[in-house]
Amino acid sequence: MITITADELLQRVRGSKKTSIIASVWEPGEGASLSRFQAEHIPNSMFCDASLALADIPSSQEGRNPLPNTDQLQRWFVKMGLNAESAVVVYDHSKGLLAARAWWILTWAGIDNVRILDGGIDAWERAGQPVVGGPGNFPATSTIRPNIGQLPTATLEEVKNHKGILIDCRERSRFSGQKESLDLKAGHIPGAINLPSGELLNEDYTFKTPQEIRQLFDAVGVTSGENVIVYSGSGLHSSQMIAAMHHADMPGAALFVGGWSQWAADQSNPVVRVD
């Protein structure tokens, strides 16, 4: 299982089971992410600035959210006090995208047993549990070094040469090219099929059941994660889709890290639009 419910997390905390609770936060503006965390978070949480910990510097060559480097990850492992003795639970304050990114990056970087709090901080509050303000928990001593490459990725060239299934998990209006406010061109990569990651979630942003998720993939001709590459605009929705695939026992899909933001930045790359 890659998810944990609010009640299950509470039982872990009450049972004194070693658990690192990580809030993955991003807000625009200098210091805004930390301010959001300090305003409200789950007790015993550690702060993770998603823009600084979970991505490298954006560029047209690498996309809006490149993979973080090993030194960068190591600094944040220390800040978050990640260690081999504790399970890791990640959550966010929004639609699960930042928690999914944290799950993907930490798992890719060699952290075992990372779980997503299903429904985020809202699910915690719906379960009647308190939130607190302030600086958060003091980090434990970090005993883990990053061991990157534990989940599959795909480069731009690998996407161009891919003979399997390519899934675009952005919303349908962006896939069709009717809407684009973030990247330089509208449309999608030739040969891609569309399954928005949001369709794998319930209205409260919890994951649908494994059976429901498998049925949605089956409807677009995907029965496993093997020979599948997933992309979104910059790796957030695609991280969420891959998390959903693991939740549904469909591991193996590769993340095209640069996503549409990298593809669209090169004028020579072909684009498909749907009238």
Three-state SS letters, the chain = CCEECHHHHHHHHHCCCCEEEEEEECCCCCCHHHHHHHHCECCCEEEEEHHHHCCCCCECCCECCCCCCHHHHHHHHHHHCCCCCCEEEEECCCCCHHHHHHHHHHHHCCCCCEEEECCHHHHHHHCCCCCECCCCCCCCCCCCCCCCCCCCEECHHHHHCCCCEEEECCCHHHHHCCCCCCCCCCCECCCCEECCHHHHECCCCCECCHHHHHHHHHHCCCCCCCCEEEECCCCHHHHHHHHHHHHCCCCCCEEECCHHHHHHHCCCCCCECCC
Is 36 in the same domain as 111?
yes
Look at residue 229 and tell me if it is in a domain.
Answer: yes
Is 16 in the same domain as 120?
yes
pLDDT exceeds 90 at position 68: yes
Higher pLDDT, 236 or 185: 236
Look at residue 30 and tell me if it is in a domain.
Answer: yes
Output the domain CATH number for residue 115.
3.40.250.10
Look at residue 144 and tell me if it is in a domain.
Answer: no
Could you report the per-residue pLDDT of 116-157, keeping only the tens digit for each?
A: 999 999 999 999 999 999 988 788 889 999 999 999 999 999
Is 93 in the same domain as 157?
no
**Domains in the chain: how many in total?**
2
Query: In terms of residue numbers, what domain contains 104?
Result: 3-127
Is 92 in the same domain as 158?
no
- pLDDT score at 140: 84
Mean pLDDT of the chain: 94
Is 161 in the same domain as 122?
no
Is 188 in the same domain as 235?
yes
Look at residue 139 and tell me if it is in a domain.
Answer: no
Look at the pTM and tell me if it is higher than 0.85: yes
pLDDT exceeds 80 at position 184: no
- pLDDT score at 216: 98
